[in-house]
Amino acid sequence: MADNRSATLRFDNKEIELPIYSPTAGPDVIDIRKLYGQGGVFTYDPGFTSTASCDSTITFIDGDKGELLHRGYPIDQLAEKSHYLEVCYLLLYGELPTGKQLEDFESLVTNHTMLHDQMSYFFRGFRRDAHPMAILVGVVGAMSAFYHDSTDISDPQQREVASIRLIAKMPTIAAWAYKFSIGQPFIYPRNDLDYASNFLRMCFAVPAQDYEVNPILSRAMDRIFTLHADHEQNASTSTVRLASSSGANPFACIAAGIACLWGPAHGGANQACLEMLKEIGTPDRIPEFIARAKDKDDNYRLMGFGHRVYKNHDPRATVLKQSADEVLNLLGVEDNPLLQVAKELEKQALEDPYFSEKKLFPNVDFYSGIILEAMGFPTSMFTPIFALSRTVGWISQWKEQLDDPQLKIGRPRQLYQGAAMRDYVDVEKR
């Protein structure tokens, strides 16, 4: 990584040489680690717009070209030719599996899908109207209380077991969060079904009537999982890494990632986007909403538009737009009004200079909600589905960080703007 180049920083009669590193892809990186020691200053970068927080070999995004690579493989190829569990293997272990490795991995995950039975009581402690993300944060955090044999992060075998458990059990947890919210009995996983079909069945079957999984819907579900599997150092992944840097157990770290994902600027955008499309309702109201999004005095934003890194197009959105057409055709609802509003909104926004000048394009959340709603999911389940898909990304990044010999607890500094030291004033004198 290191080459012989360096950057020179001059200020206050000081001159500091800072090494420059060249990555496999992406911009060069200036190593500022000795800046405070030698110069007594910090850098200032709220929102990490110019800061690389770690080394990584997992995922790369070229925001200008609209490219997303997992271990070097483009996401559109993986979405078309691979499937979620194979992508999980790739993210976790770095290479595509052989046929035997894939078979063993699938069997391992399938055999860990059941939850400790006592966990069902944990679900029952929530209010029925709890948001499924609230249940996910709680239940995944609570896994540390149920799986003591996989919380010792210094033991590689325990790390491995925790990884498989999380990937295997997330669909069960998300499906049970949904079942609990609608007052239906929990449906147990079935080992003869693939990962996506199992999830659909656990959500939509009832003891009185099984759910026939349509292979086209299961493929679309699997594709949504694949497209959300990892995304470099985004807010929730960075949260997982920061939580893990203190040595916290894997279930606590992933629960922290889920909590961060919930926000509407991140994973919560898929729910917010569908709610926005419903609020717009008909294509004739689109100009009114675009005008609001452009108004400097209104903090309204078009949900499912814009991205910190993608400045050309989001390759995941391209795949999902096509998938939305396929799913709605299959279900015979190709004239779905939400899809019509979404397509017209995309068209009008892309023709508007405000959006093109700011490089705002539809992101992954713009079309995923339409597919999920057509499958029968309520909006409150959209972000839990994102969370279950992203679990493998969080775990891969967590494992990579623990293997990094440079691992230090994350501890950002600050530009303090508060009061200087002052003496306490007794209450009667204030």
For residue 265, state whether it binds ligand CMC (rule: CB under 6 A). yes
For residue 181, state whether it binds ligand CMC (rule: CB under 6 A). no
Task: Compute how many other C-beta atoms are within 10 angstroms of the C-beta atom of residue 164.
Answer: 18
For residue 171, state whether it binds ligand CMC (rule: CB under 6 A). no
For residue 123, state whether it binds ligand CMC (rule: CB under 6 A). no
Which residues have CB under 8 Å from 199's CB, separation 6+?
Answer: 171, 174, 175, 221, 388
Determine the interface stretch with ligand CMC among 81-89, 108-116, 131-139, 266-274 (rule: CB under 6 A).
266-274
Q: Is 27 exposed, middle or buried (0-12, 13-18, 19+ CB in 10 A)?
A: exposed
> Tokens 């001159």 appear where?
15
> Tokens 């003869």 appear where?
192
Among positions 112, 219, 278, 301, the unique one binding ligand CMC when judged by CB under 6 A: 301
For residue 390, state whether it binds ligand CMC (rule: CB under 6 A). no
Lay out the site mask for ligand CMC across 317-356 (x = CB under 6 A, - = otherwise): ----------------------------------------
Among positions 365, 372, 398, 400, the unique one binding ligand CMC when judged by CB under 6 A: 365
Angle value at C-alpha 397, between 392 and 400, nearest 5 degrees:
125
Residue closer to ligand CMC (CB basis): 63 or 283:
63
Sheet holding 29-30, edge to edge: 2-11, 14-21, 29-30
Question: Which position among 70, 131, 307, 313 bears the catalytic label?
Answer: 307
Question: How many residues form the binding site for ligand CMC (CB under 6 A)?
Answer: 20
Which residues have CB under 8 Å from 284's CB, separation 6+?
Answer: none
- 365 belongs to the catalytic site: yes
- 76 belongs to the catalytic site: no
For residue 112, state whether it binds ligand CMC (rule: CB under 6 A). no
CA dihedral 237, 161, 58, 383 (to 10 degrees): -40
Write down the least CB distance from residue 349 to ligand CMC, Å. Answer: 8
For residue 303, state whether it binds ligand CMC (rule: CB under 6 A). yes
Residue closer to ligand CMC (CB basis): 158 or 233:
233
Q: Is 19 exposed, middle or buried (0-12, 13-18, 19+ CB in 10 A)?
A: middle
For residue 308, state whether it binds ligand CMC (rule: CB under 6 A). yes
For residue 305, state whether it binds ligand CMC (rule: CB under 6 A). yes
Among positions 34, 116, 358, 413, the unique one binding ligand CMC when judged by CB under 6 A: 358
Nearest position to ligand CMC, beta carbon: 306
Among positions 56, 82, 172, 363, the unique one binding ligand CMC when judged by CB under 6 A: 363
For residue 59, state whether it binds ligand CMC (rule: CB under 6 A). no
Exposure b/e, 166-201, CB count within 10 A at least 16 = b:
bbbbbbbbbbbbbbbbeeeebbbbeeebbbbbbbbb
Integer Cα distance of 143 and 155 in angstroms: 18
Residue closer to ligand CMC (CB basis): 201 or 241:
241
Q: Which amino acid is at 398?
A: W
Determine the interface stretch with ligand CMC among 27-35, 37-45, 210-218, 360-368 (rule: CB under 6 A).
360-368
Write down the least CB distance from residue 293 to ligand CMC, Å. Answer: 4
Look at residue 307 and give its three-state secondary structure: coil
> Tokens 């394009």 appear where?
361
For residue 68, state whether it binds ligand CMC (rule: CB under 6 A). no
Which residues have CB under 8 Å from 207's CB, separation 6+?
Answer: 185, 187
For residue 269, state whether it binds ligand CMC (rule: CB under 6 A). yes
Among positions 306, 315, 369, 393, the unique one binding ligand CMC when judged by CB under 6 A: 306
Write down the least CB distance from residue 228 to ligand CMC, Å. Answer: 9
Task: Write out the DSSP string of 42-87.
Answer: ----GGGTT---S--SSEEEETTTTEEEETTEEHHHHHHH--HHHH
Q: Which residues bind ligand CMC (CB under 6 A)?
A: 231, 234, 265-267, 269, 293, 301-308, 358, 360, 363-365
Catalytically active residues are 307, 365
